Chains A and B, each alone.
Chain A
């Protein structure tokens, strides 16, 4: 591959049944970005509302990037190489418009961080995916970004995902 060729954009594929709910991804993400174990500042979060039905929750890089368009200060941009949403800490005012615009309410605000947190795909080598694979769970995998615009449908609020995945695992109303 010649160096002038653009790098294929990547995507994190989530395998819900494979997720054990261990949250090693959160630990790895916070260690990579913050240098400390800080799950609340992780860009990926695992929610588990029903036993055995954890749902990893992270930015899916919607083809139309509604968060980027919603940002009034142009703090958000798209990284051409990876497709990730990048946050410019100096421009973000924590107005939360991106959270409202996100169909999955994915961006996070956490005390101690003066800007919104969104997955930046670790510039091409996501720590969460590496960690999940090291643990042998492989619930998160790096793939070439699908052209199918249905990827946006993965961005749902955690309680919606949990409801659906939970019903499938337990096959009872909980």
Chain B
């Protein structure tokens, strides 16, 4: 038998319907083929639900909540964990990465991950240690916001233990709800907070006291570890400013920042930058996650309307989506909205996306006061705060917006009796997932024209598609980081990463194999599940492998005024991308490709998808 290094080869499985707790073995060959994290989650989902994927309700007990580490988790500097399952947003698989101490704690408990199935009747939390697993009563914790919950868990357990949890949004199955950790961290993309809520699972607390599994080559590991720490620790401005620096740069310099629901992507508000935030609001800088020599986080504190708000950063995504995208340029108010999203357990990106969408609909007269209950205006903190809370608690129009931008657009069109396209044209999303805060129109930021259109994770800015496939520009790279599971910000160049992987696992994964086999294997399987979709959403590549309509409108302001996506260019690049991955002209993996990747049992399903698409 092949010895496994860096991983244990076992998962904890918990069924909340029956209360049964057990273990599942993951053979070394599966790790070798899928690496771990996102790749392994995709494999597990395919194996368990592939045949009936379309019928599986992401918010039903059949959908497992999957929490996974990867072989590099805990060894490679920085920390991430992957949350997955069938996504209630895309109806495919999203590997939603979160910075969390739970990641190392799971490994220190003797597991590579946790799979939660079924659903409890009453609110519960899960306690995990190497010798004890318990499903505890969470009725007193249900309803609590994240900040209070972390305190309450500490009281309940008598110690400060790493946890993943949901806020009120997840409890109410809000599709834009995140799985949260440590006050400010979110696995936002995918909507897994709602999946956790559907299981009435308030928190997963992990008390890992053991060592991590042994590595294959201790000397090489120790050497590479310091090599990476040295490289990462020398990213001085990134440490000092974090991603918050993007608030100015992505807007003013590269015209790629969402402003008022992406009606613009440029701003010149001097006060809307890390420089001002640093001087006025950061009370802790730098601030780091477990094992991280980068420390891109900062603690900010602001008082708005007599209430004190604390959050991280706000990092670029939170700042852009809960700031400029809502027309809020006063950073104290952005801190407040970001802190509120943390506490409610909302994905700040999806919340800012859907609220910005609603404000534009209000501005255009599609929505009126009688729909919302109050007026919506860009930059108006009070009404925006109220709407964010209404989404989390599913109150009034919030109940519609809680379905996420795509589903909300369809519902609003239905209620108003107007064609869906008339509302969808303001929905800046791809395959049910609001696009991250990096536009493509100016061509000056990192995403390519097909970044979101071809991504197997829709609008996820951390998993963008790009050409050439055999490069760090492609989604193979993100799939690799999310499977290894490490942080994109502490990642170094591929040669060192592959050496690191070898030192930990002993596998000789080569660059060639990564780009031609392992990466495409994960992406092709994710693609098939995405195209299967269902039950409430289905994607036709000819329609949905595309940018949001807004990206075809010319930028109205800034140095790149007039720039927009070109439909011809997108079509040509999609064709090239499909072909490089061995997918046919519809973007369905071909039988030859699937066989080459060892995905023999997917050949028939892919063929069915192909026939359906051609027949429609």
Contact = CB atoms under 8 A, between A and B. Distances in A.
A167 to B, nearest CB: 12
Given A36-B212, A169-B283, A24 B184 contact: no
Contacts of A112: 209-211
B283 A171 contact: yes
B295 A52 contact: no
Given A38-B108, A38-B212, A170-B310, A52 B293 contact: no
B594 to A, nearest CB: 37
B302 to A, nearest CB: 11
Interface string A121-145: 0000000000100111100000000
For chain A, which range describes its interface: under 10, 10 to 19, 20 to 34, or 35 or more residues?
35 or more
Given A24-B293, A51-B184, A134-B230, A30 B284 contact: no
A20 interface: yes
A17 B287 CA distance: 10
B507 interface: no
Given A38-B210, A136-B233, A172 B154 contact: no
A135 B233 contact: yes
A40 B209 contact: yes
A51 B310 contact: yes
Contacts of B160: 47-49
B244 to A, nearest CB: 15
A35 B218 contact: yes
Contacts of B131: 111
Interface in B257-287: 283-284, 286-287
B19 interface: no
A22 B290 CA distance: 5
Given A24-B293, A170-B301, A39 B104 contact: yes
A43 interface: no
A110 B131 CA distance: 13
A23 B310 contact: no
A31 interface: yes
Contacts of A107: none
B24 to A, nearest CB: 23
Most buried by B among A22, A23, A137, A169: A22
A24 B234 CA distance: 16
B208 A21 contact: no
B211 A20 contact: no
A119 interface: no
A22 B214 contact: no
B449 interface: no
Contact of A51 (B292, B293, B299): B299
B352 to A, nearest CB: 21
B511 to A, nearest CB: 27
Contacts of A53: 284
A15 interface: no
B402 to A, nearest CB: 27
A23 B222 contact: no
Interface string A25-62: 00100110011111111000001110111000000000
Interface in A54-87: none
A90 to B, nearest CB: 22
Contacts of B239: 136
B277 to A, nearest CB: 14
Contact of B293 (A22, A38, A39, A48): A22
Contact of A21 (B210, B287, B310): B287
Contacts of A131: 229
Nearest to B107: A37
Given A49-B160, A169-B283, A20 B295 contact: yes
Nearest to A111: B209
A36 B107 CA distance: 13
B226 A134 contact: yes
Most buried by B among A31, A39, A169, A170: A39
Given A31-B222, A39-B104, A22 B283 contact: no
B288 A21 contact: yes
B130 interface: yes
A125 to B, nearest CB: 15
B209 A135 contact: no
Contacts of B184: 51
B113 to A, nearest CB: 17
Interface in B460-482: none
Contacts of B301: 170-172
A51 B288 contact: no
Contacts of A174: 151
B211 A41 contact: yes
B283 A52 contact: yes
Contacts of A172: 301, 308, 310
11 contacts: A23-B291, A24-B77, A24-B229, A41-B211, A48-B160, A49-B154, A51-B184, A52-B284, A135-B293, A135-B295, A137-B288
Given A39-B108, A137-B288, A137-B295, 9 more contacts: A37-B211, A40-B208, A40-B209, A52-B283, A52-B287, A111-B131, A134-B229, A135-B293, A172-B310
In the A-B complex, the 5 residue pairs with the smallest Cβ-Cβ separation, listed nearest first, are: A52-B284, A52-B299, A22-B288, A38-B211, A20-B288
